[in-house]
Amino acid sequence: MFQKPFRTKSNTLLRSSDKKRLRSEVEKSFSADGFSLPITEVIGNKEEVYILKLYSHKGDNVAIYSMRNSPVLFEHEKKIFPSVYFLWEHTMLVPSIPTQTFVIQKLANGADLMLPGVVFHPNLDFPCFERGSVVAINTLENSSALAVGVALMSSNEMLESIDKRGKAVHILHVFGDHLWSLGEKTQPPTIPHTFDTHENSTLDKNTELENLVENVEINSSEVETETTDTTEAGCSLEGGDKQSTDTEESVENETDTLMEKESIDESTSVEEETEIEEVIDMDEVLRVCFMTAIKSTLKDNQLPILASSFYRSHVLPCSPPDVNLEIKKTSYKKLGKYLKSVAATGLIEVKELTKGADSIVKVNRSHQDYCHFKVVKREADTNESEEKNTEVQFGVVTQKQYEPPEISLLCGVNAATLSFFKEMGVSKGGVLMPTEVRSLVTEYVNMNNLAEGRYVKLDPILHNTLFGRQGSADVTQESWENVFKILTSKMQVHYQLKFKNMTPIVHKGTPPCVEISTQKRTGNKKVTLVKNLESFLIDPHQFMDVIRKSAQASTSISLLPNSKPNHPFYQVLVQGNQVQNVESILTGELYKLPRKYLKGLENAPKPKGKRK
């Protein structure tokens, strides 16, 4: 539904009466499956909820409810659906169906989830749901929701299907689509599944023990039959009795040793678990992670922050790599109880801004515990912090902090220069750096002994490449610099955008520019138009919010008519002549774009002369 750009109809703040209606509908929709949703925590009384009404690319009417700069719910055909942002905070809200990782990319391209794509793992409980229920899609590697849809089969129909064919889920919303791009554009959290491996291992051990005992009994019965046969043949009964007693003793010895081995394994595993529990003090781990979070990752401009969001986004990432922080294994059992104990010391201030949800509103950075605590930085942490600024999952690229690209010009091999580069093993369409072109020319000249001091003798191939078949027939030599200059001028111009931790982006032509223009509208009012931000991976929605706050002017965004569905380009409109504000934002600390890649700066208002 949101794979292609949609058309916005209106975006307004939700009234209190509509907010109550939304609360009742959400509670009715998602509390029927036995999951108690704290509705006051989800949609607080003082929480600002915006409703965005739009038309999808197929013409469907959709209402999107947004809170805290991210869409949380959307309504389609009088039914409420959660977004992936909402499901990352409330993981047990709807049943989750696991699939393979490569299937997510298929869903992002507009496909529905087919029954062969559903994974029925033996150690993972398959959820129960009816046909028409709202379900989420995740992977075996990560239990976080990556898609939302409507079940076209019940869970029993999926499990009892023999041929495993047909559509299982009709997909409405996928991570990375245009609904996700309306939010903060964060990557899904990594939450591993809890596989039931212990019960299966004990069952396997019991079955192995039973099989061994059965084999021993079968062997003993075979031996008994052999002894009876030998006694009938005239063998002594004493020998037969002795042999049977030996087999019985061997059976007893084998079963005893097996039982002893099982008891030893169980005792050692219990001892190892007690040793681990004794070594790891979960209260101390919680304290270190909490102090590290408020001293290194939590900034004052992020306050107030919900306690649950602080724990998920700041405390858990600070846990050591070999220890899983679990609040239930501490003496506090609950996060709220621990925060109250910390607040009693005066280090933080906790308030209930929304009913039933605690928030951290202040951190006392002059507190004695805060000043004496030292953050332990690991080498792996520094490397991860550099790498995690740019994250890529399922083809979706996000940057926590925008970093400008390195822009460079490249030279492409075309028909005019193919005769020379073909001799050097470069085919048509190859793209080279200017330094690589220079090295290839030098290698060719030295290989054919064409160097004469400051000049280069032109053989037929080099002469034909530089001047053509009928041009400058009397020129037999050229300087080194002229050879390089003429050759690169005849090649196809390319440009390269190299972002950090991303594969370089190469396109034909000269480097792009952000186009800034002004227009006069009705009433002789001027507006500023900004487009082509996507060429530098700048989010136009984020830029619109920044320019609105900076210029204190109304803004809007529209889809350009000539943009492609897979690569949409938007145009940001700002009331008034805001060229100088646009320049200061794009060249400032946030985006750091070079001024030469901004086109239309001459449209800025001229400074007024001094009055006489």
CATH of the domain at 531: 3.30.780.10
For residue 183, what pLDDT is reported?
Answer: 83
53 and 163, same domain (yes or no) = yes
Whether the CB-CB separation of 245 and 224 falls below 8 Å is answered with no
Q: Which residue has 């990594």 as its token pair?
A: 190
- Give the helix/strand (H/E) hosting 413: none
Q: Is 400 within the bounds of a domain? A: no
For 383, the token pair is 């490397």
Tell which of 279, 309, 324 closes a domain: 279
What does the alpha-carbon distance between residue 389 and residue 399 come to, in Å, rounded to a whole number? 5
14 and 157, same domain (yes or no) = yes
Q: Is 72 within the bounds of a domain? A: yes
Quickly count: other Cβ atoms within 10 Å of residue 403's Cβ.
Answer: 16
> Is residue 554's pLDDT more than 80?
yes
| Phi–psi pair at 462, nearest 5 degrees | -70, -40
315 and 259, same domain (yes or no) = no
CATH code: domain of residue 113: 3.10.400.20
Whole domain around residue 159: which residue ranges? 7-182
CATH code: domain of residue 471: 1.10.245.10
For residue 397, what pLDDT is reported?
Answer: 64
449 and 573, same domain (yes or no) = no
117 and 75, same domain (yes or no) = yes
Q: Is 473 within the bounds of a domain? A: yes
C-alpha triplet 284, 285, 290: angle, nearest 5°: 100
> Is residue 96's pLDDT more than 80?
yes
Q: Is 139 within the bounds of a domain? A: yes
Q: Is 611 within the bounds of a domain? A: no
Q: Taking residues 82-101, what's their average pLDDT?
A: 89
What does the alpha-carbon distance between residue 41 and residue 353 come to, in Å, rounded to a whole number? 10
Tell which of 332, 348, 383 closes a domain: 383
Q: Taking residues 416-441, what's their average pLDDT?
A: 90
Q: Is 235 within the bounds of a domain? A: yes
Q: Taking residues 94-117, what's their average pLDDT?
A: 90
Q: Which residue has 């679990």 as its token pair?
A: 326
User: Which contacts of 129-134 are long-range, i.e. CB under 8 A and separated by 24 or more positions?
Assistant: 129/33, 129/95, 129/154, 129/155, 130/154, 130/155, 131/157, 133/33, 133/94, 133/95, 134/29, 134/79, 134/81, 134/82, 134/94
Q: Taking residues 63-74, what's their average pLDDT?
A: 88
Q: Taking residues 373-394, what's their average pLDDT?
A: 61
Q: Is 389 within the bounds of a domain? A: no
Nearest C-alpha neighbor of 119 from the set 136, 138, 91, 95? 138
Tell which of 247, 279, 311 closes a domain: 279
Residue 172, helix vs strand vs coil: strand
The pTM assigned to this predicted structure is 0.51
257 and 117, same domain (yes or no) = no
Of 200-204, 364-368, 519-523, minimum mean pLDDT range: 200-204
At 271-314, the pLDDT tens digits run 444 444 444 688 998 999 999 999 888 888 788 888 887 887 78
Q: Which residue has 């270190």 as its token pair?
A: 288
Whether the CB-CB separation of 155 and 117 falls below 8 Å is answered with no
What does the alpha-carbon distance between residue 497 and residue 532 come to, in Å, rounded to a whole number? 14
169 and 214, same domain (yes or no) = no
163 and 55, same domain (yes or no) = yes
For residue 212, what pLDDT is reported?
Answer: 43
Whether the CB-CB separation of 135 and 149 falls below 8 Å is answered with yes
Of 247-251, 319-323, 363-367, 387-391, minimum mean pLDDT range: 247-251
531 and 585, same domain (yes or no) = yes
The residue ranking higher by pLDDT, 568 or 517, is: 517
For residue 221, what pLDDT is reported?
Answer: 46
For residue 9, what pLDDT is reported?
Answer: 78
Q: Taking residues 334-360, what's their average pLDDT?
A: 88
Q: Taking residues 158-180, what's their average pLDDT?
A: 90
Mean pLDDT score across all residues of the chain: 80
For residue 232, what pLDDT is reported?
Answer: 44
> Is residue 31's pLDDT more than 80?
no
* Maximum pairwise Cα distance, the chain: 142
DSSP assignment letter at 157: H
What does the alpha-carbon distance between residue 510 and residue 514 come to, in Å, rounded to a whole number? 13
What does the alpha-carbon distance between residue 323 and residue 338 come to, in Å, rounded to a whole number? 19
What does the alpha-carbon distance between residue 138 and residue 117 come to, in Å, rounded to a whole number? 11
Q: Is 396 within the bounds of a domain? A: no
CA 7 distance to own-chain centroid: 26
Task: Provide the number of structural domains found in the chain.
Answer: 5
Residues forming a β-bridge with 170:
150
Q: How confident is the model at residue 474 (pLDDT cuts 50, 70, 90)?
A: confident
What does the alpha-carbon distance between residue 255 and residue 354 come to, in Å, rounded to a whole number? 63
The residue ranking higher by pLDDT, 546 or 33, is: 546
Q: Which residue has 């689509």 as its token pair?
A: 177
DSSP string, 286-322: HHHHHHHIIIII--GGG-SEEHHHHIIIIIGGGS-TT
47 and 142, same domain (yes or no) = yes
For residue 399, what pLDDT is reported?
Answer: 64
Residue 105, helix vs strand vs coil: helix
Q: Taking residues 403-432, what's their average pLDDT?
A: 89
176 and 79, same domain (yes or no) = yes
117 and 175, same domain (yes or no) = yes
